[in-house]
Structure 1
Amino acid sequence: MDPNTAAAVAIQAWWRGQLVRRALLVAASSARRIQGWWRRVDSQRKEQQRLWVLAEYIRMERAIVLLQAQTRAWVMRTEYKRCQEAARTIQSCWRNYMQRQAGCCTEDVDLHIDIVLGVPGDCGAQSE
């Protein structure tokens, strides 16, 4: 091959190499941009999912705390009512006992009470 043809082939090879390298560089750059965009989209999606799960957890936690508070209040009300009933029973038994004790010692006391019913609308005014 003559030197001019060899030089032309070398220049063409160099130039085609440059074109291929530029095409590969553009393709790699485009791939990096697409990958970066996809990573951002995926990261945002994961962050939204994480926030949704967190909000759901907080909602569930609040519901559990409310249910526990209601249950504790119900248990305490039940216990309070039971204590009230026990106190009433004790008071009733004590009063009965005291009446029996008082009844045996003071047999001569007259406990007769007269109840006077007024006329409706009278209000204590005397008729003339």
Structure 2
Amino acid sequence: MANRKDTTVRRANRVRRHLKAVANGRPRLSVHRSSKNIYVQVIDDVAGKTLAAASTLDTGLRGDLKTGADVAAASAVGKLIAERAKAAGVTEVVFDRGAFLYHGRVKALAEAAREGGLTF
């Protein structure tokens, strides 16, 4: 029987495999959440480069947030990544939730990024 880590890695790989099939050259907005913080990157898989990144550990956000592990923090990170991606010339992405359910903090980040101007 597979352990929990193997199951999580398999789920993340399954999601990424599907995204790369439908991406059509668009960069990937990859989300990772831990118990204390949330991290997001805009990745160009063709070139293998990170175009923009943001997290609750950024100095501009850290002082404004009560904690890095709530919906408000995820929303702030979503707005920040949208600004940074637009500055890098990216407006269309595919959303990579990894092994995380589209619920709670991940959903709040995605909605804030959409409000900030990213299309996915």
Normalized per residue, the structure richer in helix is 1
Normalized per residue, the structure richer in strand is 2
* TM-score bracket for this pair, using the shorter chain length: under 0.3
Scaled by the length of structure 1, the TM-score of the pair is 0.18
Scaled by the length of structure 2, the TM-score of the pair is 0.19
Higher relative CO (CA 8 A, sep ≥ 6), structure 1 or 2?
A: 2
